[in-house]
Chains A and B, each alone.
Chain A
Amino acid sequence: MPIDTALNPSASLVREVQHTISPGLWTLAWRRLKTDSVAMVSLAIVAAFILLMVVSGLGLVAKDWAKEVGINYAPPSWITLGAADAPTPAPLPSGTGEPTHLGPTPGSAFNSTVVDPLADVINELKGTKAADSAVSASAAVVDENKVVDPLADVMKDIRSGQANAKDVPAAEERRATLPFGGDKWGRDIIAKTIKGSETSIFVGLAAAVVAVFIGTVLGAFAGYYGRWVDDLLNWFYSVFSSIPYLLLILAVAAVLQQKGTFTIVLILGLTGWSGVFRLIRAEYLKHKGREYVMAADALGASHGRKMFLHIFPNVSHVVLVQLSILTVGFIKAEVILSFLGFGVPVDVVSWGSMLNEAQNELILGKWWQLVAATLAMATLVTAFSLFTDALRDALDPKLKGRSGH
């Protein structure tokens, strides 16, 4: 290529550029990343989850997650059941559902067929509760759960609505076991987890994009322009950051009465930008004083050109890392909010709402929903975090080249 260009640089330029441009810093970072096996495995897992989210969002899989395909609390099929334990497909008549969780326990309904290993514990528990005189406010889990689970009634409505609408499998068709068990209504846990993943990952990613966008734009302006722009935006930042994050989310959730996936995205995004703002502002402040920006200034580059063409590519790695850190953070926040019932609406399933149900199921010994939601979340978040760490290392300019001696 040097010979070509030397002979006739201008003529062959356009093609030459495509052929001979050196690998940029992103390419180099990608190469570094590729040598890191942990990072690549993590990336594959994250990509698989995101693919799952897309596929599920398009309705290609887990579309019928709400279908009650198994008996109530169908155990996972890989649990060996003694012949005597094989549950007869005799589910509770749909519509009555579960009045409360510990009252006439659903477990007791099963007692005839399935041996509930926890039956004793539960009974004992109830006894202990009554005996525990010191506790006045707590009044046992039962009452607490009444407060916690404001969804029970709504859920019932929805369910009966669905039942009336169409295709509730006849009781005979319901399966005794499901691959990873079933929930209270006999819905397949695997499909439910996939659907839950879709919601949680979507909320996490979308909220992170919103927060990073706001934080980056404000941070860039504050750091680049300094003076009163910086003072103003900094004031704005300090107001937002002086209200603890979770409190702010809860306050906004309290005020916004309507629930919905987009509402939760907005709540998380609009309240979570302050960390990004601080970092990007500091980066812009640092880069503004760098000689390459001063050189651009000396050459007559406009503010916009300096901010976006010169500085932004040099801080974009911070933005990327923040995006993935925030995604993890927002996934966790969504889980907590949905658990508390302030997150996604009742007809939408997410890891948080699954955990909410699982909390009560655990007492009955139905641990599979808990394990499924926890496993899905832990796998994704671990992979995401490990990938973020590797990404940060790969993009860190300090690691570039040899240490200078």
Chain B
Amino acid sequence: MAPTMLGVVLLVFLLFNWVGGDPAYVLAGKISNQEQIDNIRRQLGVDQPFYVQLWIFIKQILTADFGASWSTNESVSHILATRLGPSLTVLVPLLILQTIIAVGLALAVAYVRGSLTDRMVMIICTIGLSISILVYIIVFQYVFAYKLGWFPVQGWGNDFWENLIKYASLPILIGLTVSIAPNLRLYRTFVLDEINQDYVRTARAKGVGENRIMWIHVLRNASIPIITNLMAELPGLLLGSFLIERFFSIPGIGREVILAVERSDFPVIKAITVYVAFATITTNLLADLMYKAVDPRVQLK
């Protein structure tokens, strides 16, 4: 865990301080104020040897103080703190709904495996997956918000419930449309893997009904890869919805990343990259622990 974190720090450092080069060069034409640029160079220690620059970077990470954004002068830590809430408002309900629906459908489809229904659902999933998420967003926003007026075209307020009900519902709907197909396909293979195991034959030989086999015996086993998979995806989801955030002007982390990339706002990208990576490493560790908790076979080893 610690070596991985160090690796991430090194990677990000190399990327921005070495590949990225001198901020004066990057910012040329973006900030006209020479004094401001000098300030930034001093802050990063551009003229100092590499290890000093690295140490400055590590200090920034540890103190969560990345200075100010190059383009808005807002402090980076403040940006991060205020953008997390809107992201989670969309993501948490999305994650919960998506998991429930995908698992339910996966079991149902696996139950009729090999049938016409199964094949049709899989083909629909494949076709659905082949359309870019951009198209879903463009079309859904156009049809449901512009034309039908069921949802606001975009926006975000200050009240949590207003945000959740009014502004987040169409983004969540789009998120579901996009995410259910791949998850359904994945979970279906998890379930099918289990259905072919010997213990399912034993359960049948005991006279256990197909429903109970599915919901008790198979689901309990299939939940192990499903949970680990979910945990592994968690931090990625935070950014995965960046397109949605951008289209609907939701002031979340994902939108912030895109804005930062557009403006070459390195402090913001650096901070988000490092912290999201740390979050990933932590959830991976948690997933590992959780895996040990749910799978009795692992404890022995």
A residues contacting B by CB (< 8 A) are: 121, 125, 128-129, 132, 134-135, 137-138, 141, 144, 147, 150, 235-236, 238-240, 242-248, 250-257, 328, 332, 335-336, 339-342, 351-352, 355, 358-359, 362-363, 370, 374, 377-382, 384-386, 389
Q: Are A251 and B138 in contact (CB under 8 A)?
A: no
Q: Are B147 and A246 in contact (CB under 8 A)?
A: no
In whole angstroms, how far apart are the Cα atoms of A351 and B135 in the complex? Answer: 11
Known: A129-B153, A243-B273. A355 touches B132 (CB 8 A): yes
In whole angstroms, how far apart are the Cα atoms of A293 and B257 in the complex? Answer: 48
In whole angstroms, how far apart are the Cα atoms of A359 and B280 in the complex? Answer: 33
Residues of A within 8 A of B156 (CB): 134-135, 137-138
Known: A254-B264, A362-B142. A244 touches B132 (CB 8 A): no
B residues contacting A by CB (< 8 A) are: 3-4, 7-8, 10-12, 15-16, 19-20, 26, 123, 126-127, 129-135, 138-139, 142, 146-147, 152-157, 162, 235-236, 238-240, 242-243, 249, 251, 257-262, 264, 266, 269, 272-273, 276-277, 280-281, 284
Q: Which residue of B lies closest to A342 (CB)?
A: B261
In whole angstroms, how far apart are the Cα atoms of A141 and B11 in the complex? Answer: 37
Q: Are B281 and A242 in contact (CB under 8 A)?
A: yes
Q: Are B239 and A244 in contact (CB under 8 A)?
A: yes
Q: 10 A–B contact pairs at CB < 8 A?
A: A125-B153, A243-B273, A255-B15, A255-B20, A257-B26, A355-B132, A378-B131, A379-B130, A381-B131, A382-B126
- Minimum distance in angstroms from B128 CB to a CB of chain A: 9
Q: Are A252 and B135 in contact (CB under 8 A)?
A: no
- Minimum distance in angstroms from A148 CB to a CB of chain B: 8
In whole angstroms, how far apart are the Cα atoms of A150 and B259 in the complex? Answer: 12
In whole angstroms, how far apart are the Cα atoms of A246 and B132 in the complex? Answer: 15
- Minimum distance in angstroms from A22 CB to a CB of chain B: 30
Residues of B within 8 A of A135 (CB): 152, 154-156, 249
Q: Are B153 and A374 in contact (CB under 8 A)?
A: no
Q: Are B132 and A125 in contact (CB under 8 A)?
A: no
Closest A-B pairs by Cβ, 3 of them? A239-B7, A381-B130, A135-B155
- Minimum distance in angstroms from B6 CB to a CB of chain A: 9
Q: Which residue of B lies closest to A340 (CB)?
A: B258
Q: Are B146 and A363 in contact (CB under 8 A)?
A: yes
Q: Are A247 and B276 in contact (CB under 8 A)?
A: yes
Residues of B within 8 A of A374 (CB): 131-132, 135
In whole angstroms, how far apart are the Cα atoms of A150 and B263 in the complex? Answer: 11
Q: Are A247 and B257 in contact (CB under 8 A)?
A: yes
